[in-house]
């Protein structure tokens, strides 16, 4: 009797990393350390959050004595948000960051990123998700268009294409036939980007 084995699938874990306002000038240096530590930077965005957006992002910290200073600090200038991927990304990134209090990090984890780039307990230079579930939540907050689930296959894939892809693609091809541009591939690509129904709904002030 033939035993049917499922096709092997590799699920790479993702986590959120944020370079905070006070170390934004160290962006390239920090990214180099991230890449040399075995991570892939899947998505990256430079932006400045409003105090209200920071309050929503750190909603679980609401009510704590440092909350007003935290939101003021995080909205004081541009940040760089990154989706990092590798096996066990959450735990490895937490290990690379070190303790949240930079002063303690310098004693217990002197080679950690917060020990190197942080100033004190509040201004610790970088953010990392605490768990897989918080990583998913935080990535969705800063990258609403991100696809975190495994890519669907079989009937799920056909359903997704029929509902989410085909209507937009059909509209784009129809517009392409009417327009008859000189370079149809580039025109269609630009049209699909402009008419993407899954554009992020959050409005951020993007830094140039």
Do residues 77 and 109 share a domain? yes
160 shares a domain with 129: no
| Domain match, 26 and 55 both | yes
Q: Report yes or no on 36 lying in a domain.
A: yes
Q: Is residue 158 part of a domain?
A: yes
Residues 103 and 42 grouped into a single domain: yes
User: Domain tally for the chain?
Assistant: 2
Q: For position 158, what pLDDT does the model report?
A: 76
pLDDT tens-digit readout, 79-98: 999 999 998 999 999 999 99
**Residue 43 DSSP label:** E
Give me the sign of the Cα torsion angle 87, 92, 17, 137: positive
Structure-block tokens of residue 58:
């750190």
What is the helix (H) or strand (E) element at residue 106, kind and residue range? Answer: helix 102-108
Task: Tell me: do 169 and 111 sit in the same domain.
Answer: no
Q: Give, in degrees to the nearest 5, the angle at Cα 98 between 93 and 102.
A: 135
In a domain, 107, yes or no: yes
Q: Are residues 179 and 119 in the same domain?
A: no
User: Would residue 127 show up in a list of annotated catalytic residues for this protein?
Assistant: yes
Q: Which of 40, 109, 111, 127 is catalytic?
A: 127
Residue 105 covered by a domain:
yes
Rounded Cα distance between 40 and 116, Å, is: 22
Q: What pTM value is reported for the model?
A: 0.68
Dist CA 18 CA 75 (whole Å): 13
Cβ contacts of residue 120 below 8 Å, gap of 6+?
A: 101, 102, 103
- What's the CA gap between 152 and 148, in Å, rounded? 11
Specify the DSSP element, H or E, that contains 128.
strand 126-128
Residue 45 within any structural domain of the chain: yes
Which domain does 107 fall in, by range?
14-142
Please write the tens of the pLDDT for every residue from 166-177: 888 899 899 989
Q: Which two tokens stand for residue 30?
A: 């920090």
Nearest to 135 by CA among 93, 183, 100, 177: 93
CATH number where 54 lies: 3.30.70.141
Summarised one tens digit per residue, pLDDT across range 96-149 is 999 999 999 999 999 999 999 999 989 999 999 999 999 999 999 998 876 655
Residue 162 sits in the same domain as residue 81: no
Residues 137 and 161 in one domain: no
Q: Looking at the structure, do residues 90 and 163 belong to the same domain, yes or no?
A: no
Residue 204 pLDDT exceeds 50: no
């Amino acid at each position: 009797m033939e035993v049917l084995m499922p096709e092997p699938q590799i699920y790479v874990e993702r986590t959120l990393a944020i370079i905070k306002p006070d170390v934004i000038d160290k962006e390239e240096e920090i990214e180099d350390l991230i890449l040399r530590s075995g991570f892939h930077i899947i998505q990256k965005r430079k932006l400045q959050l409003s105090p209200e957006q920071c309050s929503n992002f750190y909603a679980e910290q609401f009510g704590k004595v440092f909350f007003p200073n935290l939101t003021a600090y995080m909205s004081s200038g541009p940040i760089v948000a990154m989706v990092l991927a590798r096996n066990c990304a959450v735990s490895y990134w937490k290990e690379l960051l070190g303790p949240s209090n930079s002063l303690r990090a310098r004693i217990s984890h002197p080679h950690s990123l917060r020990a190197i780039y942080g100033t004190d307990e509040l201004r610790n230079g970088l953010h990392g998700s605490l768990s897989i579930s918080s990583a998913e939540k935080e990535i969705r907050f800063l990258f609403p268009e991100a696809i975190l689930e495994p890519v669907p296959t079989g009937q799920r894939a056909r359903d997704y294409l029929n509902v989410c892809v085909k209507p937009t693609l059909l509209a784009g091809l129809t517009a392409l036939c009417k327009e008859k541009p000189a370079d149809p591939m580039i025109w269609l690509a630009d049209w699909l980007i402009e008419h993407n129904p899954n554009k992020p709904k959050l409005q951020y002030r993007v830094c140039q």
